[in-house]
Amino acid sequence: MSDASYVLDDRERMSFSLDREVFVSPEVLERERRAVFDKCWIYVGHGSEVAEPGDFRTRDIADRPILFCRDRAGEVRAFLNSCRHRGALTCTKREGNARLFQCMYHGWVYDTEGKLRTVPGEDAYGPHFDKEKLGLVAVPRLAHYRDFFFLSFDPAVEDLETYLAGAKDYLDLVTEQSPSGRMQVISGTQEYEIAANWKLLVENSVDDYHLPTAHLTWLNYMKNSGVDMKPRETGLLLPTKGAGKDLGNGHLATDNPNYRGRPVAGWMPIYGEDAKPDMAALREELVARLGQARATRVADTNRNLVVFPNLVVNDGSSVTIRTFFPTDAGHMKVTAWALGPVEESAAQRARRLDSFLTFYGPGGFATPDDVAALELVQRGLGAWREVRWSDSSRGMNRPDDEQLNTDEGHLRVFWRRWSGLMGAGR
């Protein structure tokens, strides 16, 4: 432990302090861009978003314009979306299906494998002008686990599965909701900004300590809808006792027995009486396919997963994929999607989407209060020079493998990995 660290991690004194400069400093952000976002595996998209050959999506990933597509032969690819001629965005559409991508500026044409196919007026170039070498540049690394595609700008990054470590099991639990193991990003994107440092959303996504205060109105809504919200054991803040998990490599999760509804075989009154037989059938399918124990694991636990650094998969009231990037030290852009099994019936899909909105999103019953909390924190952090340290020591009086979801053990997992990548001192 050194005084020059951003993180003061003192296990003996059971104290964990965080220098608030990490949330406000443009220099820290600049270093994060190089030491974190340019070094890690970063989520780019789901295979189902480019289901057919020629399907594409454009999005900004870690400040780069990315063209995420499936080529005519069926392979998923990710290119830097920048024309090799003089730099224009090659593909300007948000999504679609294409055989070729033509740059609007001077008309260079690329195919879905990135090859440069046509250059208008090619006879004006010398003999060393080689179209073979002027294709769209692929991202240095692209890999997927269960259709979650990640890219890395570091060619030497370890392979994805090693990187994901214990997070794989949590992606499995999500994917196993589909009888065929095929999940699908559902149409409709929630894209919004939060006036707060990106790391505050990492913390918030897995911080169950804030539920009783920040989400009191959501708890009331659940109660009014017939869900039993009372803690069943003394000393707990929530109806059930959950865990905060260290999944290795900076990945972490909360892992809680379900006390509210889940679209996967966890009925709640909001779904309506009519939904009961259908949900029983979903349960039966799960048990038949996975066995009783695994079916219970899939259906009866709520899990909020953080894949370091910036992918959140919440498997609770619905399944959400959420990713976010800093635009400056005090702002981030968030993108959120809903995920569901491909074979879902229309009624099941509608229920999943309805359930999503009970909690999540800019118009949900909980997310707006998270955003409010994060923005209030960011404003409070304006006092960082005088009020320098934040405390994240909750639960340090218990062993690492007994951390509750309402403790901060899993938050410390993130910070230890983060400070490891950022280097010991300033």
Partner 1 sequence: MSAPQLTGARVSRADVEDFLYYEAELLDSWQLDAWLGLLTEDACYYVPPNDKPDADHRDTLFLVADNIARLRERVKRIKDPNCHAEQPRSRTRRMISNVRITSTSGDTIGVAANFVVYRFRRGEAARDYVGSYRYMLKRQGDSLKIAERRVLLAAEELGALGLISFIL
CB within 8 Å of 368: residues ≥ 6 apart: 362
- Burial state string for 377-410 with b = 16 or more CB within 10 A and e = fewer than 16: bbeebeebeeeeebebbbbbeeeeeebbbbbbbb
**Which part of the chain contacts partner 1 (CB under 8 A), choosing from 122-130, 289-297, 303-311, 366-374?**
366-374
- Exactly one of 187, 233, 274, 385 binds partner 1 (CB under 8 A); that residue is 187
CB neighbours of residue 95 within 10 Å: 15
| d(C-alpha 208, C-alpha 242), whole Å | 9
Please report how close the Cβ of residue 215 comes to Fe ion at its closest, in angstroms: 6
Closer by beta carbon to partner 1, 219 or else 307:
219
For the chain, helix, strand, coil in percent to 5 are: 30, 30, 40
Distance in angstroms (rounded) separating the CA atoms of residues 291 and 32:
43
Q: Is 194 in the site for partner 1 (CB under 8 A)?
A: yes
Q: Which residue, 108 or 149, is less far from ligand FES as judged by CB?
A: 108
Smallest distance from Fe ion to CB 319, Å: 17
Given the complex with partner 1, which of 106 and 379 has the nearer CB atom? 379
Q: Find the binding residues for ligand FES in span 292-351 (CB under 6 A).
A: none
Going residue by residue from 104 to 123, which x/- string records binding to ligand FES, judged by CB under 6 A? -xxxx---------------
373 binds partner 1 (CB under 8 A): yes
State yes or no: residue 65 binds partner 1 (CB under 8 A): no
Q: Is 217 in the site for partner 1 (CB under 8 A)?
A: yes
Question: Rule CB under 6 A: is residue 88 a binding residue for ligand FES?
Answer: yes
As a whole number of angstroms, the distance between CA 202 and CA 309 comes to 8
Counting contacts by CB under 8 A, is residue 293 touching partner 1?
A: no
Query: Binding Fe ion by CB under 5 A: which of 255, 370, 407, 408?
Result: 370
Strands (E), 249-310: 251-257, 301-307
Give the separation between CA 330 and CA 345, rounded to whole angstroms: 42
CB of 423 to ligand FES, least distance (A): 38
The partner in contact with residue 88, picked from Fe ion, partner 1, ligand FES, none with C-beta cut-offs of 5 to 8 angstroms by kind, is: ligand FES
Does position 350 bind partner 1 by CB under 8 A?
A: yes
Query: What is the Cα–Cα distance from 352 to 7, expressed in whole angstroms?
Result: 40
Is 86 near ligand FES (CB under 6 A)? yes
Q: Indicate which single residue of 62, 67, 307, 338 sits in contact with partner 1 (rule: CB under 8 A).
A: 338
Is 202 a binder of ligand FES (CB under 6 A)? no
Residues 6+ apart with CB under 8 A from 170: 247, 253, 303, 305, 313, 315
Give all strands of the β-sheet with 76-80 in edge-to-edge order.
76-80, 64-70, 55-61, 95-97
Residue 425 interface partner, choices partner 1, Fe ion, ligand FES, none, CB cut-off 5-8 Å depending on type? none
Q: Which is nearer to partner 1, 118 or 220 (CB)?
A: 220
Query: In 3D, which of 399, 408, 390 has the Cα closest to residue 18?
Result: 390
Given 33, 39, 85, 146, the residue binding ligand FES (CB under 6 A): 85
- Beta bridge pairs of residue 59: 66
CA distance 412 to 199: 12
- Choices 156-164, 247-255, 356-364, 401-409; region in contact with partner 1 by CB under 8 A: 356-364
Token couple for 26: 């443009």
For tokens 């029983």, name the residue: 280
Helix (H, G, I), strand (E, B) or coil at 386: coil
Out of ligand FES, partner 1, Fe ion, none, which partner does residue 85 contact, by CB within 5 to 8 A per kind? ligand FES
Which residue bears the tokens 């053990």? 409
- Which is nearest to 194 in space by CA: 60, 328, 65? 328
The pair of structure tokens assigned to 366 is: 């909980």
Smallest distance from the beta carbon of 315 to Fe ion, in angstroms? Answer: 15
Q: Which residues form the interface with partner 1 (CB under 8 A)? A: 94, 186-195, 214, 216-218, 220-221, 224-225, 333, 337-338, 346, 349-350, 353-354, 356-358, 361-363, 365, 368-369, 371-373, 376, 379
Q: Which residues form the interface with Fe ion (CB under 5 A)? A: 370
Q: Which residues form the interface with ligand FES (CB under 6 A)? A: 83, 85-88, 103, 105-108
